[in-house]
Structure 1
Amino acid sequence: MRAIVTDGTGDIWEETHDRPEPDPGEVLVKVRAVGICGSDVGLIDGEGPPWTEYPLVPGHEVCAEVVGLGEGVDSLSVGDRVALHGFIYCGTCTACREGRYYQCADLREIGFTVAGGYREYAAFPAYTLAPIPDGISDLEACQIDSAACTLHAMKRVETSVSDTAAVLGPGSLGLFGVQLLRAWGVEDVILTGTREERLAVGRDLGATKTVNVREEDPVEAIDEYTGGDGVDVCVEAAGAGDVVNTCLQIAAKQGQIALTGVFDGNREIDPNDIVAKELTVVGGVTASHAGDDVIELFERADLTIDGIVTHEFDLADYDEAIESVQERRDGVIKAVLRP
């Protein structure tokens, strides 16, 4: 079978691998769609999380079809369409026992330490796969993990229908964030970013104000928009630049900030912003405990991939797909590979 591999030195190439056989507790799947995440692009250049293991088949935004069952698997059936939630954990450490399996002491992660979905077939533990209702498309299914990453972080803050919220970063996580805030009843949502075409998608998805940070200072623009009050909730979804400081400066007194971006290094902040305004700052970098909610939101049409999943490529055209994402060609936001 075809598999796409990187070693973290800037190279990515195709190899021919044997089709895997499922071990006990595993499921053999045929990959139907796999999203190209920004973290995948980082993996190619060696900028993945510190737990990454090379060489590696990337890909964690996976929709697949069950084609074989390992011994002892009775939670799924051949023919089921499934979405991947790629954490492999021990189930017995303190974090696992407390439901924080994504912080397992012996954590492995599909697409980072275990071969992911940039291939035609894969064998994954059955518990990492969730059945997908017929009404959810393959493209929606491969974005469940992406939307759930934003939702997991947002679940750590409280929102009200009277809130003014800001989402920083109009990539897929941020555009899902705009929709999730609106689905929670937040009617006033500001979106900031550097690309007008992405901000336009955000407006289509419910943002009530957009700020192009290349054209105006976001702190000044949001201060003016809120009459100096700031925003009650800030969802950071950029993972770049000075966005953390922007969050601290635009947050209202006793405001809440959810950080979801993975940064490429340290950032300098002024902690007095947190102390003086009594801010709540939380982080979230997983889709855990949010996938079922995202599935329901897709079924209710409170979430859409319209304007977010912009490009599809055959797996054989992986090089063109990756370059399109790296260079942000043709207005690409989310590209999907189709094995």
Structure 2
Amino acid sequence: MIHDATFDFRASARRTLTLEQQALNELIDKLDVSFDHACRTLLECRGRIIVTGMGKSGHIARKMAATFASTGSPAFYLHPGEASHGDLGMVTEGDVVIALSNSGETQEITGLIALFKRLGAPLISLTGRPHSTLARYSDVHIDAGVSREACPHDLAPTSSTTAALAMGDALALALLEARGFSPEDFALSHPGGTLGKRLLLRVSDLMHGGERLPCVPAGSPLRVALLEMTRKGMGFTCVVDEHQRLVGVYTDGDLRRTLDQRGDFDLLKVDDVMTRGGKTAAPDMLAAEAVRIMEDNMITALAVVEAGCPIGALHMHDLLRSGVI
């Protein structure tokens, strides 16, 4: 095949993206009561959501099953070719099946319809042909048809697979919202990655407490506060009253301001130059929230306070080491 050196690749890309965008717009207009019925059927599922599809639809089905599973709806992909050779045993009472086929006539899929019915598994189909065999024998049919493929020959599955993928996301996220699925719930199925750490780690998991907490009594000479900052290496020290309640913090920034004012370190008390109150975090606060406080206030450490008393200290380095940022 001879390559045309003058071919406009970007024009081809714009055409493809425009056609696929149009396909998604058409999909929005096709949403009807069938989508509601499908969502209710999935919400009432007592088993797993089983997604099946052949060829390119199979690739979309795999992704759809993964999205359901990670957003609170137990699901897996069933290969239709393997299903008729033993894998149908994966389908149990209480499961719901979602079948993808743009034509609605894929033999590997239509050949399973009677078996799904015999097992009592509700069948939801996504096709591009509402009058196809698969659509007619489904309990719920969602029209995911497109006016044309993005392929210039209108052959290769492109717009149709994009539409099916988007409809799968729409179903999964509708269920997520209906269930009140929270970020913490999401993190439980993603504990090993950065996402899980960002969502699950709390300030109490990372803070320095006990002997590692930098703290001096109010009225202490400034030099005492500086020694405490140096020993604990947190870049600040808490200042507490006689009841161990936080009254302020003395930070590296406060030290620079003290130097600028040329104060007499032998005469100054920490109370004279500290930041009163200061920015704090609660122990049960998500670590990601603590990051936002630090970033918004351009600081690198926080006192962790409970019932008005400092119980720990959190530094930006701790958040970096943990993978939260």
The normalised TM-score by structure 1 is 0.30
Higher RCO (CA 8 Å, separation ≥ 6 residues):
1
Greater helix content: 2
